[in-house]
């Protein structure tokens, strides 16, 4: 594999979940986001695709770094490693992109887009060194990467490009402190550390069948901290999780809830058989509103025989999570109450109970829809803030500041 690296240079990137989310989108990947982990003691999201760890690099003192961060230093050249995508970092300041690629290109249930698909196909069967060179020579990756760099990082990059080539391959926020991104994923039942500065993936052990891989990762990380000598107040690490896009997940939840509302409305219409709700000119929401008013007014004075029944309360044992599955509709109404269901309205005490509980469940799902809509709006506002923060991050304020200070000096 020929080494080039001259076409594109890479600028330093910050450890920011919004930046990484936007960078993933620039790669052409859909349905994936990044969030920051603030508390290692709390349960982690079990749907996490992978973790990205930013830690303080101790320069060339590899022994110190290994003692602090490596739970296992044994690289295993097994079958899994050959199927596992892993690219070794070959250019300066690119570890953020390498960390992302070492997660994204090992996922089979996401849409990675043409750019990453081409890289995945080009690196199939290659060793980490060759895969790393292909990544380094992909100019479009570098352009996506540099798009989110601060102007001072770009200026520093230009100085380095015009001067001697710096061979350091770690993220460095200053000459005094250097940091590096490393990835962790679950693959074939094992936890792997994918550190792009290493020659091979590191197998951190097999994950037992009854243990979530995120719990195993959490245990490993906490053990590393407990065994380290880091006791200062200095923040020496940052942890981010690569997760399914929360907006898309919430929108899917909303779609299912709306589908359940339609199912519940149809069942209620079968109970009532009211011509009031069959007017095709009426919208779905208006039909449901009139149907509920009709039912509540019709059965308001009807008493059920069960003195312990709370007819308009949420049916016990059903949560909003269960409502997200259509099976709860079929199970609760068609199996447990099949004998009460018919197309004609026969007001018996037992049927009134079912109808009233059906109304309660419909109202409960409606409240769930309102909550999910609020969640979606909040997530979209957060995404907009990512864009605002990114625009502020990449904007070069130096020319304005220089001009302003010059003007102030001239006035004096």
DSSP symbols for 275-344: GGG--TTS-HHHHHHHHHHHHHHHHTTPPPS-TT--TTSPPTT--HHHHTSHHHHIIIIIITTGGG--SS
- 72-84 in b/e burial notation, b at 16+ Cβ within 10 A? eeeeeeeeebeeb
Beta pairing partners, 172: 178
Q: Write down the pTM of the prediction.
A: 0.78
97: nearest Cα among 129, 54, 152, 135: 135
Residue 319 pLDDT greater than 60, yes or no? no
Active-site annotation holder among 95, 144, 245, 295: 95
Based on the domain organization, do 209 and 352 belong to the same domain? Answer: no
Residues 226 and 255 in one domain: no
Is residue 320 one of the residues assigned to a domain? Answer: yes
**Is 11 inside any structural domain?**
no
Please list, residue by residue across 196-217, b when 16 or more beta carbons sit within 10 angstroms of its beta carbon and e when fewer do.
Answer: bbbebbbbbeebeeeebbbebb
Shared domain check, 202 and 100: yes
In this structure, is residue 383 part of a structural domain?
Answer: no
CB atoms within 10 A of CB 283: 8
Note whether 62 and 33 are same-domain residues. Answer: yes
Annotated active-site residue 180? The verdict is yes
| 152 and 220 assigned to the same domain | yes
Which of 145, 148, 180, 190 is labelled catalytic? 180
> Is the pLDDT at 184 greater than 70, yes or no?
yes
d(CA 204, CA 82): 16
Q: Do 218 and 320 sit in the same domain of this protein?
A: no
pLDDT, the chain, mean:
77
Give the residue, 220 or 64, on which the prediction is more confident. 220
Whether the CB-CB separation of 3 and 90 falls below 8 Å is answered with yes
Tell me, yes or no, whether 273 lies in a domain.
yes
- Per the structure, the complete domain to which residue 345 belongs is given by 249-370
- Give the three-state DSSP class for 174: coil
Residue 402 lies in a domain: no
Query: Which CATH number does the domain housing residue 173 bear?
Result: 3.40.532.10
When mean pLDDT is compared across 4-18, 75-89, 341-355, 361-375, the lowest value belongs to 341-355
Summarize pLDDT for 148-169 with one digit per residue, the tens: 999 888 787 766 655 444 434 4
3-state helix, strand, coil in the chain (%, to 5): 50, 10, 40
Cα 224 to its chain centre, rounded Å, is 25
Number of structural domains in the chain? 2
Q: Does 12 reside within a domain? A: no
Digit-coded pLDDT (tens) for 56-75: 665 544 434 444 444 444 45
Q: Is there a single domain that holds both residue 280 and residue 354?
A: yes
> What is the Cα–Cα distance from 139 to 5, expressed in whole angstroms?
9
| 269 pLDDT higher than 80 | no
| pLDDT beyond 80 at 12 | yes
C-alpha 341/C-alpha 354 separation (Å) is 9
Q: Is residue 220 part of a domain?
A: yes
Q: For tokens 């101790």, name the residue.
A: 58
Residues 126-148 pLDDT 10s: 999 999 999 999 999 999 999 99
Q: How confident is the model at residue 353 (pLDDT cuts 50, 70, 90)?
A: low
Cα-flanking dihedrals φ and ψ of residue 393, to 5°? Answer: -65, -45
Q: What is the mean pLDDT of residues 343-360?
A: 59
pLDDT at residue 214 greater than cutoff 90:
yes
């Amino acid at each position: 594999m020929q080494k080039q690296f001259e076409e594109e240079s890479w600028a330093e990137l910050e450890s920011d979940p919004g930046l990484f989310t936007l960078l993933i989108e620039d790669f052409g990947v859909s349905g994936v986001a990044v969030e920051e982990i603030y508390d290692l003691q709390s349960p982690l999201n079990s749907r996490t695709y992978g973790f990205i760890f930013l830690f303080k690099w101790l320069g060339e003192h590899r022994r110190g770094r290994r003692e602090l961060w490596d739970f296992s230093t044994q690289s295993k050249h097994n079958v899994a490693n050959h199927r596992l995508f892993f690219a070794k970092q070959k250019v300066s300041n690119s570890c953020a992109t390498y960390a992302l690629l070492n997660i994204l290109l090992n996922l089979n249930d996401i849409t990675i887009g043409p750019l990453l698909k081409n890289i995945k196909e080009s690196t199939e069967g290659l060793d980490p060194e060759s895969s790393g060179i292909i990544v380094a020579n992909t100019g479009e990756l570098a352009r996506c990467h540099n798009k989110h760099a601060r102007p001072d990082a770009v200026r520093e990059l230009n100085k380095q490009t015009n001067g001697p080539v710096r061979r350091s391959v770690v993220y460095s926020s200053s000459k005094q402190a250097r940091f590096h991104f490393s990835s962790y994923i679950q693959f074939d039942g094992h936890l792997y550390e994918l550190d792009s500065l290493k020659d091979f993936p590191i197998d951190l052990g097999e994950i037992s069948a009854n243990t979530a891989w995120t719990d195993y990762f959490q245990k490993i990380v906490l053990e590393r901290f407990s065994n380290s000598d880091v006791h200062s107040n200095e923040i020496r690490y940052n942890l981010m999780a690569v997760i399914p896009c929360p907006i898309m997940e919430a929108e899917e939840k909303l779609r299912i809830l709306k589908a359940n509302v339609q199912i519940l409305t149809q069942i209620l219409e079968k109970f009532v058989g009211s011509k009031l709700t069959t007017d095709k000119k009426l919208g779905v929401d208006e039909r449901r509103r009139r149907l509920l008013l009709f039912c509540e007014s019709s059965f308001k004075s009807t008493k059920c025989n069960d003195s312990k029944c709370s007819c308009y309360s949420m049916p016990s044992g059903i949560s909003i999570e269960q409502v997200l599955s259509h099976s709860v509709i079929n199970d609760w109404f068609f199996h447990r109450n099949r004998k009460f269901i018919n197309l004609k309205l026969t007001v018996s005490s037992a049927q009134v109970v079912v109808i009233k509980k059906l109304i309660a469940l419909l109202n409960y799902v409606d409240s769930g829809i309102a909550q999910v809509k609020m969640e979606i709006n909040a997530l979209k506002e957060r995404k907009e803030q990512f864009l605002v923060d990114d625009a502020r991050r990449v904007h070069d304020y130096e020319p304005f500041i220089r001009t302003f200070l010059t003007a102030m000096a001239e006035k004096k």
